[in-house]
Amino acid sequence: MAHYPGCAMKTLIKNVSKAASKRAQSVDPNSGRCVIENCSNTQGVHAVRVFDCDIEMEPDVLGSLEWAWGMIQGSLSLDTRRNILFVGESVYELYRSKKWALLPMEEDVAQFFDKFRIFTLGRERFPKIERDTFQYTLLPLDALEDVYLSRQSMEGARDVTIHDFPYNTFPVITSHVDPRFVILHLSQTVFGDTDVNVRMELIEKYPYLDEAWSLFETWTGGIPTHALKDKTYICHSSGHDGTSTVLVDSTDCDGSRTPVQRNRPLPKPTFSMISSASGDEYDDEQEEEELIMEASSVSYTASLEDSEEANSSIDCVRGLHVNKRHRYLTSVELSIRKENVNMEPLTWTSERISEWAKECTPQASSERPPVRRSTRTRKKPKRFL
């Protein structure tokens, strides 16, 4: 049995936020309906990530993908709409159990290789994904003889088609999901969790699965040492310079829509940033959250200014006044500063040391201390006769 070390990363099916689900639904050609059964989203449709991994356990995975895909460091988010798939309740658990996956078209896999399909394309020649929809095939990864799939023909129609294992009659699936995420999930599942006999049968039927695995190894192989000196990968400024692909597509994953993945801190929200953005640039939930954060920040600063004199010397007034050593001043020091008293830090000089020594030395008293009389009684000497 072959060993596939790249599949050691743990795959998770985490809950997708409502904002991410809304972003994905806005570009989904099926309008959020189940990609398999085509049932309405009112029948318990789940939004799941196609490719998912534990970033805390595998922090270099996204950085490696960003390098391989010609992106800027820290710009990739797994909550991009191109990585979110809608599945119904009946096939949701099967997807979690890795019983089925989406198989991309062969040309969608071949586009990441050279014309001889031998070498994978590097960062400089990596193709841009400009299409809005892609074609996929339902690929069962386990024996599902007792599972049949029902698919509604069209929205609002009562015509339902039943498909039995191995689902050869199942129609081609049209989805907004990016084939790169599908390749990652498919390779990680087939070469890491699928039975070896099933895997060999799948490779015999779809030989380009080996190419998908080669892409997985290349894309998750790590960041080269010279990447930290590449200006198209490391972004030192607060904004992008436009020399590299920022995210999966320009309309999907800009900073105002899909959250930035990691490493690069988000700028603090200001009223100018929020007021300059139109309603279309932000999702309702994100905009409301930023407004709440901004209002909380302003009210907190105002409360500190109002209670400056009321704060004790222990609590201090944080963030309002600092001295030259960047230490926060207490309320006592603030009151002294208001009286125009010099707040320069004390330095030990010879004069200051001598004055301190004089203060510590006890002064001699001019009065003579009273004579102490002894309380012992004198015994008369004995006389010897």
C-beta separation of 119 from 126 below 8 A: no
Is residue 278 predicted with pLDDT exceeding 50? no
| Contact by Cβ (8 Å): 201, 169 | no
> CA dist 132 to 7, 27, 30, 50, Å?
29, 8, 13, 17
The answer to whether the CB of 183 falls within 8 A of the CB of 211 is no
From the list 78, 35, 27, 294, the residue with the least C-alpha distance to 184 is 78
Phi, psi at 104, each rounded to 5°: -70, 165
| Higher per-residue confidence, 206 vs 264 | 206
pLDDT in tens, 94-104: 998 899 999 99
Domain parsing of the chain, residue ranges = 18-229
Highest-scoring range by mean pLDDT, 33-42, 286-295, 333-342: 33-42
Give pLDDT, residue 360: 74
Of 62, 140, 52, nearest to 94 by C-alpha is 140
The mean of the pLDDT values for the chain is 75
Could you give the CA distance from residue 353 to residue 356 in angstroms, rounded to a whole number? 5
Residue 308 pLDDT > 50: no
pLDDT (tens digit per residue) in 24-52? 999 999 999 999 999 887 888 999 999 99
- Looking at residue 42, its pLDDT comes to 80
- Cα–Cα distance measured from residue 220 to residue 216, given in angstroms and rounded to the nearest whole number: 6
Q: How does pLDDT run across 180-234, given as a tens digit for each residue?
A: 999 999 999 999 888 899 999 999 999 999 999 999 999 999 999 999 899 999 8
If one compares 222 and 277, the residue with the highest pLDDT of the two is 222
Four-CA torsion 150, 180, 193, 85, nearest 10 degrees: -30
Band of residue 242 on the pLDDT scale cut at 50, 70, 90 = very low
Helix (H, G, I), strand (E, B) or coil at 50: coil
* Strand, coil or helix: 138: strand
Taking alpha carbons only, the member of 10, 17, 175, 12 closest to residue 82 is 175
pLDDT of residue 63: 92
How confident is residue 267, by pLDDT bands cut at 50, 70 and 90? very low
Q: Higher pLDDT residue, 250 or 295?
A: 295
pLDDT given for residue 144 in this prediction: 85
Phi and psi torsions of 139, nearest 5°: -120, 105
pLDDT tier for residue 246 given thresholds of 50, 70 and 90: very low
pTM comes to 0.63
Helices 179-190 and 209-219: crossing angle, nearest 10°?
100
